[in-house]
């Protein structure tokens, strides 16, 4: 069975949305395999976001991800990598579709750039790489 890494970012944890996000994952039929609450170190975040190094939003993104605890979920299910990304919705919450995590719960990026509640691995290769980073 396929596995993915889901992160509830610091905005999601601070807004007490961890349970609501997990509820949506479980309601879809995916299974929680492992979970941890992490205050992420810079080295973990720069590895996690290595593909974005050099982009203008990289520094602010890492700072935001360091700003408070993150909840990491290891989630299993049939086609869960693609499936979770469709549950999450598009990157910018202000245009994410209703019914998605970001569309229903996300803040307008005009006032809260970087803050879009969740991360989900985008391919089998990134899921394997990211699960190894966050869960050893
Ligand atoms: P994720 O990988 O976190 O699930 P994603 O695949 O929708 O999100 P990416 O393009 O991989 O988005 O960007 C990773 C993260 O970087 C986004 O979730 C967001 O927090 C931040 N980000 C991306 N683009 C921008 C931008 N233009 N301005 C500010 N932050 C951004």
Q: What is the ipTM of this complex?
A: 0.89
Q: How many angstroms is it from 114 CA to the middle of ligand 1?
A: 7
CA-closest residue to ligand 1 atom 22: 114
- What are the tens digits of pLDDT across the range 48-97? 999 999 999 999 999 999 999 999 999 999 999 999 999 999 999 999 99
Q: With a 6 A CB cut-off, is 92 part of the ligand 1 pocket?
A: no
CA distance 130 to 49: 10
pTM: 0.95
**What residues have CB less than 8 Å from 30, skipping those under 6 apart?**
75, 76, 77, 80, 83, 84
């Amino acid at each position: 069975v396929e596995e993915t890494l889901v992160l509830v970012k610091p905005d999601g944890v601070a807004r007490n949305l961890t349970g609501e996000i997990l509820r949506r994952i479980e309601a879809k039929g995916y299974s929680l395999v492992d979970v941890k609450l992490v205050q992420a170190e810079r080295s973990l975040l720069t590895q996690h976001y290595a593909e974005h190094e050099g982009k203008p939003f990289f520094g602010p993104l890492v700072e935001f991800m360091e700003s408070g605890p993150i909840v990491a979920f290891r989630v299993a299910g049939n086609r869960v990598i693609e499936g979770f990304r469709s549950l999450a919705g598009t990157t910018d919450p202000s245009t994410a579709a209703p019914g998605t995590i970001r569309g229903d719960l996300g803040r307008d990026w005009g006032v809260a750039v970087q803050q879009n509640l969740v991360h989900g691995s985008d391919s089998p290769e990134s899921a394997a790489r990211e699960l190894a980073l966050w869960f050893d």
